[in-house]
Amino acid sequence: MQQASNVRDILGAGNPVDRLGRPLHDLRISVMDRCNFRCPYCMPKEQFHEHYRFLKSQERLSFDEIVRLARLFGSLGVRKLRLTGGEPLLRANLADLIGDLTGIPEIEDIALTTNGVLLAQHAVDLHANGLRRVTVSLDTLDKDIFARMSGGFGALEQVLHGIDAAIAAGLSPVKINAVIERGINDHGTLDLLERFRGMPVIVRFIEFMDVGNRNEWRPDTVVPSRELVARIKARWPMHPIAENYRGEVAQRWRFDDGMGEVGFISSVSQPFCGTCSRARLSSEGKFYTCLFATHGLNLRDALRSGATDADLLQMIRGTWLERTDRYSEQRDELRQARNPAEQKIEMYYIGG
């Protein structure tokens, strides 16, 4: 059965399914490699300093190039797009790009992940151009810890203001991503929930991951979600609820008192590679099949040297058909076996 569907795929009919039976359904597009924060778990400021060489603007995909690729991905089965970065709101006229992407018939859902600092000034425009969902990263409500976790940039008040503005603009429910690191912000999880319970906001706790090569990740800095679930349940009884769709990354729990829900993204303690249908496009147009990949397929050079849609489709399809990634399920063995010279891609470059 598998063999038959692969033959059909190679011939170009139907949507591609990878070697582990996973379709291509989501595409995360990094529209900007730069960021106005220096979160130590993503872009530690010692390494991403003022002389760090980010992409020049002509090295980044243009909006036309992004839209052309998104159309092609749509024809291969992608239904969800997420714009991310770096900080996507640093990309000028981002709302225009969203307007263009909403015109792709296959795309059912467009979301944005942002650190929230510039959200208040853009929320209405983003909504007017068709954005319906936003995820804001916010790890803590403690000003000092916030400063530490953002590398000393931005202000907590700006992010909170951005969340309020997003709700007011109709971008709700707003999702909040909180990366939890043991000994840094794990004691603030209940405060985050206390503030947002009962609002059109869904807080999602993310296990600190070993993305990239520079964040000094150690297994003992991860707070397994089950530990947080126990802590939260003791304060506000809650029960697990079904996923919204197959392959949803967050495990959902609902408060028994009707005050909303909370999510847990447990990619370290309970990996979900088995249903991973996410692809990533870097700001300079490389296509990656895993957050922990070491190599990407250069679509920008193909685009800029005159590749036809058929050529590009074949490149994307062929790469997806060969995909075997399941890093989070193999973390321990791969961490030991990988050649240190073979660097993983950095998070800021392909987005979360």
Q: Which of 115, 112, 116 is nearest to 163 (CA)?
A: 116
Is residue 212 part of the contact set for ligand SF4 (CB under 6 A)? no
Query: 143-166 b/e with 16+ CB inside 10 Å = b?
Result: eebbebbbbeebebeebbbbbebb
Binding mask 320-339 for ligand SF4 (x = CB under 6 A): -----xxxx-----------
Binds 177: which of ligand SAM, ligand SF4, none (CB < 5-8 Å by kind): ligand SAM
Could you tell me how many residues of this chain bind ligand SAM (CB under 6 A)? Answer: 21
Under 8 Å between Cβ of 138 and 188 = no
Q: Which of 239, 288, 284, 230 is nearest to 259 (CA)?
A: 239
Instruction: Report the alpha-carbon distance of residue 42 to residue 51 in Å, rounded.
Output: 17
And the tokens for 100? Answer: 């263009």
Binds 326: which of ligand SF4, ligand SAM, none (CB < 5-8 Å by kind): ligand SF4
Site for ligand SF4 in 132-161 (CB under 6 A): 137
Under 8 Å between Cβ of 101 and 70 = yes
Instruction: Report the alpha-carbon distance of residue 242 to residue 244 in Å, rounded.
Output: 6
How far apart, in Å, do the first and last CA atoms of the chain sit? 34
Nearest distance in Å: CB 55, ligand SAM: 15
CA atoms within 13 A on the CB side of 340: 1
Is residue 250 part of the contact set for ligand SF4 (CB under 6 A)? no
Q: Which listed residue (27, 35, 97, 180) binds ligand SF4 by CB under 6 A?
A: 35
Is residue 42 part of the contact set for ligand SF4 (CB under 6 A)? yes
**Piece of 82-90, 123-131, 240-248, 298-306 that binds ligand SF4 (CB under 6 A):** 82-90
Could you list the residues that contact ligand SF4 (CB under 6 A)? 35, 37-39, 42-43, 85-87, 115, 137, 267, 272-273, 276, 278, 290-292, 325-328, 348
Instruction: List contacts with ligand SAM (CB under 6 A).
Output: 35, 41-42, 84-85, 87, 113-115, 137, 177, 179, 206, 208-209, 211, 215, 347-348, 351-352
